[in-house]
A and B are shown apart, each in its own frame.
Chain A
Amino acid sequence: MILRIKTYLNSYTNAASLAFYRIAFGFMMLLGLIRFAANGWIDKFYIQPSFHFTYYGFSWIKPIGIYTYGIFILCFLSCIFIMIGYKYRASAIVFFLSFTYIELMDKTTYLNHYYFITVISFIMIFLPAGNYFSVDSYRNPQQAFGKTPRWTVDILKLMLAIVYFYAGLAKLNSDWLVNAMPLKIWLTGHSNLPFVGPLMLKSWLHYTFSWFGAAYDLFIVLLLINRRTRIVGFILVVVFHLLTSLLFPIGMFPYIMIVSSLIFFSGSFHQKCLTGIKLLHLPILLVDNTKNYIPQNRSLYKGSIVVLSIFMFIQLVFPFRYLCYPGELFWTEEGFRFSWRVMLMEKAGYAQFIVTDAKSGKKIYVNNEDFLTVFQEKQMSFQPDFILEYAHFLHDHYQKEGLNDPEVRVQNYVALNGRLSRPYVDPTINLAEKKESFESKDWILPFEDTIWGL
C-alpha cells in the first residue's frame, strides 16, 4: 500500500495540463472580476450597505470603505500574474487571500461557486503550476519542467469530482425527485421565453430536468474520466451549463465549470492548446521541455502533500456535518453552506423585528430598509444566522439610541419549496440573549413536514 502510494507520488504527467489550468483559471477569474466591477457590485454590495453580515469567527473581516477597491485591484493583478505565470506562488497566495477576504466581507453574497474558487485557489498555492509555459520558467530555465507529478493534476480532478458528486447526492431528496421542486417554480417563471416558453410550464419538463440534473451531477465525472466517453461527457457539460446559464441567474459559474472540466482531457490535448497560444510568437523553450519536476525545497514539497491530503480529507467530510444537527437541513440551514448544495431551494421569508426597552416596555417596530439593502433583507429573512446577527446589531443600535437593555424579537415567516409560509423563529425568544455558535439553534420552530433523502 505504502509502496503504491510512493510510486503514485513519484509518477509524472505532462505539465501542460497544470499550465493550461493555471491560464484558464486566471483568465476566468479575470473575466469574473471585470463583470463584477462592471455591474457596479463592488459599490452596491460592499461600499453602500451600512451593515454587513459576517461569517461566524470572521466578523473582523469587513469592507474597508473606499480601499475595498484596492483589494479588488490586488485580486485583479494577481489573476494576470497567475495567467502569465509571473511570480506564481506569491500571486497564487495573493489571489487566495484577496479573493477569500472579499468573500468573507459579507455572507449575503455567498455562492457555492465563490467557495469553489476559494477552495481551488487554496489548492493551487501548493501546486507547481508556474514551472511550465510561464514567465517564471522562461526567466529561470532551471526551474522549468515539462513533467509534473501526477497528483498535482489529479487533485484538481478530485476536487471537481467532489463538487459534482456531492451536488448530485444533495439532489437525492423527495422535494427534488418527487415534487420537482424548486425547478417547478423556477422553470415556470420562464414561460415567457420565445419558442420554448410553453414547454416551461409542462410538468414532465420539470421532472425531466430534475432527474437529469441529479443524474448529470452524479455521473458526469465518470464520463469525463473515461477516455472513450470523454467527448460525450464534455458535450453534456457544455449543454448542461449553457442551459443553466440561460435559465438561472448564476453568473460566471457555468463558464467556470465548463472550462474547469477541460482538466479531464489528456496532457497532449492541453499541450496542443498551449501550442496554439504559442503561435503568438512566444519562445520555443516554453513548451519544449521534458524534465521531471524537481522541487526547489524538498521539505516544503513534502509539507504541501501533507497539507493537501488533510485538506482533501476535510473536503470529503465537511459537507456531511449537517448530520450533527437535528431538524430538517433545508429548514434550519445548519450545515447547508460549503457543501455543494446548489440550486436546491426556493426559500423566501418575512421578518418583522420588534425591539423592546427592558425597563419601560417601550416597543419599536423595526423598518429593515433603514439598515439593510433589498438584497440583504431578502437573504436575512429566511436564514437563522443572519437573523441572529441582525438581531444583535439591532440590540447594539437601539442601546446606543438610549433604550435600556433592548430585547429583540422577530415575527418571522418562511416559505420553502412551494409550501405555504409558516412561522420560522420563535417570536417569544429574545434573540439579543442568544449567542451564535456551532450548536443547533433551538429557537427555530419545527418544520412540521419531512423531506426524505440525503
Chain B
Amino acid sequence: MKKIVIAFFLIASVIGCSSSDNNETNSNQGYDRTAMLTNWADNIIIPAFENYSTKVNTLSQAATAFTTAPDDTKLAAVRTAWLEAYTAYQYVAMYDFGKAEELYLKQSANTYPTDVTGIQTNITSGSYNLNLQAQFTRQGFPAVDYLINGQGTDAETITYLSNANAAAYLNAVANQLKTIATTVTTDWKGDYRSQYVQNNGTSVTSAVNKTTNNFIKNLEKDIRTAKLGIPAGLFSNGTTYANKVEAYYKNDVSKALLNAGIQAEIDFFNGKAFNNTATGASLKNALDGVNAVRGGTKLSDVITNQFATVVTTNNMLNNSLSVQVTNDNAKMLTAYSTLQQNVIYLKVDMMQALNMTIDYVDGDGD
C-alpha cells in the first residue's frame, strides 16, 4: 500500500510539473495593486475631479455674471458652461466613495427627473437648505437645466431669471455643485490620495475592490438602469418616460451624456489617463496579468469588444433619448441589453477572474 502512495505522489508531481510546461507559454505576471491604484488616483480620478471642479466653477461664475446683468450672450455662456460641467460630471460619477460619498456628490448633482414643483416652492419661499436629502431632486444639473432651458424662448428665460429669487436659486444651485466638487477635489489632492493608494489589500474595503465595485455599479445602476432602462419603460411595464432622461429641458444632449458616461467607463477599464492618451495599470492589464482566457479569447478582449458594440449600438440612438423612446423604443431596448451583457462580463467574469471578495465570510468553494 505504501508503495502505491509513494507512486501516486511521484506520478502526481511528474504530471503536475509536465502539464505546467504546456501552459508556461502564457506569461502570467499577476497585477500590482499599488501601481493600479496609483495610476487610477494620479492619472484618472484626481484629474477628472480637477476638471469637474473647474467646470462647475466656470458654471457658477457664468451664473453670477448672468444674474448680475442678464443678456443673451451671458445666458449662452451659462448654457455652455452647464453642458460642459454636466459632461465633466459623467467622468467622476463612478468614484462614489470617500468624500464624494460622504457629501452625496452624485445624488445632489444628478437626481432626475428634477422636481419642478419643489424648485418653484423653493424660489417662492426663498429659504431652503440644499444639504438636505429631501432637496436632492431640486438641485444639481437637472435643476439648472430646468432653470435655463425650461423657460421657453431666450427672452422668456431672461425674464424668468431676472426675478431676484429665481436668480438667487440658480446661483445657489450652481454654488452647491461648486462647493461639493471643490471639497471632494481638495480631499483627493490632500491626505485621501495616499490613504487610497496605501489601502492596497484584497479585502472588501480595500481601494481596488471599492473602486472596481463602484465602476461596475455605475455602469449597472447609473448608466444601464437610469439612462436607458427607466426611460425605455423596462421598470414600468413598458410605459416609456420621455421626461426621465438627463437634460430633459435641453433635450438634445441626453445621448451625448450617455456616451460620455460610457467613455468614462471604457477609459477607466483601459487605465487611460484623463488628460492625455497614455495608459497605465488597469483592470484590463490585471485580467491579462492573471491570464484570463475564456473560450480561446482573452477576457479583456471579450469586454473591450462588448464595449465597442455598446458604443455602436448607442450611436444608433437619437441625440435625444426622449425622442428615441417616443419614436422607436426598440433601439433603446437593444442598447439596454447590449450594455447588460457587459455588466455580466464585468460583474461575473471579471470579478471571478480577479478573485475579488464581495463580503467577509468563511467559504469552502461553494
Given contacts A188-B30, A211-B16, A250-B364, contact A419 B295 (CB under 8 A): yes
Binds B, one of A119-127, A297-305, A347-355: A347-355
Which residues on the A side are within 8 Å of B190 (C-beta)? none
| Nearest CB in chain B: distance from A447 CB, A | 14
| Contact yes or no, B16 A210, CB < 8 A | yes
Question: B352 touches which one: A185, A202, A212, A229 (CB < 8 A)?
Answer: A185
Which residues on the B side are within 8 Å of A250 (C-beta)? 362-364
Which chain B residues in 189-218 approach chain A with CB under 8 Å?
Answer: 200-202
Which chain A residues in 326-361 approach chain B with CB under 8 Å?
Answer: 342-350, 352, 357, 360-361
- Digitize A163-197: 1 where CB-to-B-CB distance is under 8 Å, 0 elsewhere: 00000000000000110101001101101100001
| Contact yes or no, A112 B364, CB < 8 A | yes
| Contact yes or no, A203 B354, CB < 8 A | no
| Contact yes or no, A421 B345, CB < 8 A | yes
- Digitize B46-80: 1 where CB-to-A-CB distance is under 8 Å, 0 elsewhere: 00000000000000000000000000000000000
Given contacts A363-B238, A365-B234, A421-B344, contact A415 B364 (CB under 8 A): no
- Digitize A66-78: 1 where CB-to-B-CB distance is under 8 Å, 0 elsewhere: 0000000000000
Which chain B residues in 331-349 approach chain A with CB under 8 Å?
Answer: 340, 343-345, 347-349
Asked if B275 lies at the interface with its beta carbon under 8 angstroms from chain A, I say no
Given contacts A191-B30, A420-B295, contact A207 B20 (CB under 8 A): yes
Asked if B128 lies at the interface with its beta carbon under 8 angstroms from chain A, I say no
- In the assembly, what is the distance between CA of A344 and CA of B21, in Å? 23
| Contact yes or no, A218 B16, CB < 8 A | no
| Contact yes or no, B1 A222, CB < 8 A | yes
Which residues on the B side are within 8 Å of A374 (C-beta)? 358-359
Q: Which residue of A lies closest to B25 (CB)?
A: A203
Considering only CB atoms and an 8 Å cut-off, how many residues of chain A contact the other chain? Answer: 76
Knowing that A222-B5, A249-B361, A252-B362 are A-B contacts, what are 14 other residue pairs whose CB atoms are under 8 Å apart, sorted by A's residue number?
Answer: A180-B19, A188-B355, A201-B30, A204-B21, A207-B19, A211-B15, A212-B16, A215-B12, A222-B2, A342-B364, A343-B364, A344-B365, A347-B366, A378-B359
Which residues on the B side are within 8 Å of A177 (C-beta)? 15
| Contact yes or no, B28 A202, CB < 8 A | yes
Which chain B residues in 9-48 approach chain A with CB under 8 Å?
Answer: 9, 12-13, 15-17, 19-21, 23-24, 26, 28-31, 33
Which chain A residues in 207-256 approach chain B with CB under 8 Å?
Answer: 207-208, 210-212, 214-215, 218-219, 222-223, 226, 229, 248-253
- In the assembly, what is the distance between CA of A402 and CA of B237, in Å? 15
| Contact yes or no, B2 A345, CB < 8 A | no
Q: Which residue of B lies closest to A378 (CB)?
A: B358
| Nearest CB in chain A: distance from B154 CB, A | 40
Given contacts A211-B15, A212-B9, contact A362 B365 (CB under 8 A): no
| Nearest CB in chain A: distance from B58 CB, A | 37
* Residues in chain B within 8 A of chain A (CB atoms): 1-2, 5, 8-9, 12-13, 15-17, 19-21, 23-24, 26, 28-31, 33, 200-202, 229, 234-235, 237-238, 290-292, 294-295, 299, 302, 340, 343-345, 347-349, 351-355, 357-366
Asked if A451 lies at the interface with its beta carbon under 8 angstroms from chain B, I say no
Q: Which residue of A lies closest to B355 (CB)?
A: A189
| Contact yes or no, A361 B363, CB < 8 A | no
| Nearest CB in chain B: distance from A130 CB, A | 30
| Contact yes or no, A203 B24, CB < 8 A | yes
Given contacts A218-B8, A223-B5, A249-B362, contact A185 B17 (CB under 8 A): no
Q: Which residue of A lies closest to B31 (CB)?
A: A191
Asked if A375 lies at the interface with its beta carbon under 8 angstroms from chain B, I say yes
- 6 CB contacts below 8 A, A to B, read A191-B30, A204-B24, A211-B15, A348-B349, A363-B234, A421-B348
Which residues on the A side are within 8 Å of B1 (C-beta)? 222, 226
| Nearest CB in chain A: distance from B217 CB, A | 11
Asked if A100 lies at the interface with its beta carbon under 8 angstroms from chain B, I say no
Question: A375 touches which one: B294, B351, B361 (CB < 8 A)?
Answer: B361
| Contact yes or no, B363 A363, CB < 8 A | no
Question: B348 touches which one: A182, A253, A350 (CB < 8 A)?
Answer: A350
| Nearest CB in chain B: distance from A31 CB, A | 14
Q: Which residue of A lies closest to B296 (CB)?
A: A420
| Contact yes or no, B362 A204, CB < 8 A | no
- In the assembly, what is the distance between CA of A372 and CA of B347, in Å? 17
